[in-house]
C-alpha cells in the first residue's frame, strides 16, 4: 500500500508541475466557460418555455451541465497527457520504476482531481459573476461538488484506459468523443420531461442524466434522486477502474 501511494504522489506531482508550469494550462478551462456563457446567455429564453420549472433559473440550470462538462473534459485532457507520456516514452520511467504500477493510475487520477478543482472553481466563479442563483444549502453545494469530483474520476479512468491501450496521442478523439456524446445525450438545455423524439428515449439510459438531474436539484435546494445519482457515479468509477487496469495490462504486455 505504501508503494502504491509513493508512486501515485510521484506521478501526480510530476503531472501538476507540468500542468501549472505552462500558461497553456488555462486552455482546458476555457471550453466550459465558453459553453456556459454561450448557453446561459444565448439560450436564456429557453427557461421561459411552458412546463420548464427550475426554481434557481436558467443560468443555474446551465451551470450544472457546464460544471460537469468541465470536470469530465478535465479527465479527458488527463487522458491526452497519458497518451503523450506513452508516445514519447516517458511512461517507461513510471513502468520501470514503480514497484506498484496501480499507483500510476492513481497518480493520474490525483493530478486530474487537482486540475479539475482549478477548472471547476473557475466555472463556479464565472457562474456567480453571471448572477447564478444558488438556492441549495452548503451541504447541497458539497453534494454537487462531490458528484462533480466522482464524474472527473470516472472520465479520467476512461481516458486512462484508452490512452494506455492505444499509447498514442492519436487516441485523443477516442477519448473525447464518447465523453462529449454522453454529455450531449443528457438533458442539456431542458429538463428530461421536456425532451422529445429519440433523445427522450436515449437520455434516460444515459448514466449522466441521473447525475445532472440530481446536480441541478442540489443547486435548486430540492435534492432528489441523490442515492441513485451517487450509486450511478460510483458504479461508473468501478467499471472504468477495471477498464483503466485493462489498459495498463495492455501497456505492460506491449513493453
Partner 1 sequence: MERRHGIEVENLVREFKKGPRAVDGVSLSVSPGEVYGFLGPNGAGKSTTVLILTTLLPPTSGTARVAGYDIVKEGSGVRSAIGAALQEAALDPFLTGREHMNLQSSLHGLPRKERKVRGDELLERVGLSEAANRRVRGYSGGMKRRLDLALALVHRSEILFLDEPTTGLDPQSRSALWDEVNRLARDDGVTVFLTTQYLEEADMLADRVAIIDEGKIVAEDTPEALKAEIGRPSVEATPVDFKELDAVSNVLGRFGGTVPASSGSAAVRLERGDLADVVRALDTEGVKVMNLQLNSPSLDDVFLEKTGRSLEGSGGGEEDEA
Q: Where do contacts with partner 1 occur on this chain (CB under 8 A)?
A: 2-3, 6-7, 9-11, 13-14, 17-18, 21-22, 89-100, 252-255
The alpha carbon of 168 is separated from its chain's Cα centroid by a whole number of angstroms, namely 21
> CB-wise, 13 or 131, nearer to partner 1?
13
CA distances to 93, 134, 178, 191 from 59, rounded to whole Å, are: 46, 10, 26, 13
> CB-wise, 88 or 224, nearer to partner 1?
88
> CB-wise, 17 or 202, nearer to partner 1?
17
> CB-wise, 95 or 185, nearer to partner 1?
95
Find the shortest distance in angstroms from Cβ 97 to partner 1: 4
The alpha carbon of 144 is separated from its chain's Cα centroid by a whole number of angstroms, namely 13
Find the shortest distance in angstroms from Cβ 144 to partner 1: 33
Find the shortest distance in angstroms from Cβ 190 to partner 1: 44
Task: Report which of 96, 108, 100 is spatially closest to residue 6, judged by C-alpha positions.
Answer: 100
Find the shortest distance in angstroms from Cβ 114 to partner 1: 16
> CB-wise, 9 or 230, nearer to partner 1?
9
Cβ neighbours for 145, distance < 8 A, ≥ 6 positions apart: 120
Distance from the first to the final alpha carbon of the chain: 25
Contact 138, 222 (CB under 8 A): no
Contact 118, 198 (CB under 8 A): no
Helix (H) or strand (E) run with residue 207 in it? helix 207-219
Find the shortest distance in angstroms from Cβ 176 to partner 1: 23
Amino acid at each position: 500500500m505504501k508503494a502504491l501511494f509513493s508512486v501515485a504522489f510521484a506521478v501526480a506531482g510530476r503531472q501538476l508541475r507540468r500542468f501549472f508550469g505552462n500558461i497553456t494550462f488555462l486552455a482546458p478551462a476555457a471550453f466550459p466557460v465558453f459553453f456556459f456563457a454561450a448557453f446561459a446567455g444565448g439560450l436564456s429564453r429557453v427557461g421561459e418555455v411552458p412546463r420548464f420549472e427550475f426554481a434557481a433559473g436558467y443560468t443555474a440550470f446551465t451551470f450544472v451541465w457546464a460544471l460537469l462538462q468541465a470536470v469530465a473534459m478535465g479527465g479527458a485532457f488527463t487522458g491526452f497527457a497519458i497518451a503523450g507520456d506513452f508516445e514519447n516514452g516517458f511512461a517507461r520511467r513510471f513502468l520501470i520504476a514503480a514497484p506498484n504500477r496501480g499507483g500510476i493510475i492513481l497518480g493520474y487520477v490525483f493530478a486530474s482531481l487537482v486540475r479539475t478543482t482549478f477548472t471547476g472553481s473557475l466555472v463556479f466563479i464565472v457562474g456567480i459573476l453571471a448572477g447564478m442563483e444558488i438556492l441549495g444549502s452548503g451541504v447541497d453545494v458539497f453534494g454537487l461538488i462531490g458528484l462533480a469530483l466522482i464524474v472527473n474520476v470516472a472520465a479520467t479512468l476512461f481516458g486512462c484506459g484508452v490512452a494506455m491501450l492505444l499509447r498514442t496521442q492519436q487516441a485523443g478523439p477516442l477519448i473525447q468523443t464518447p465523453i462529449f456524446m454522453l454529455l450531449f445525450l443528457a438533458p442539456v438545455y431542458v429538463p428530461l420531461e421536456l425532451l422529445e423524439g429519440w433523445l427522450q428515449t436515449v437520455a434516460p439510459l444515459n448514466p449522466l442524466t441521473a447525475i445532472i438531474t440530481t446536480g441541478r436539484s442540489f443547486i435548486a435546494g430540492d435534492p432528489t434522486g441523490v442515492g441513485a445519482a451517487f450509486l450511478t457515479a460510483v458504479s461508473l468509477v468501478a467499471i472504468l477502474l477495471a477498464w483503466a487496469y485493462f489498459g495498463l495490462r495492455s501497456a505492460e504486455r506491449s513493453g
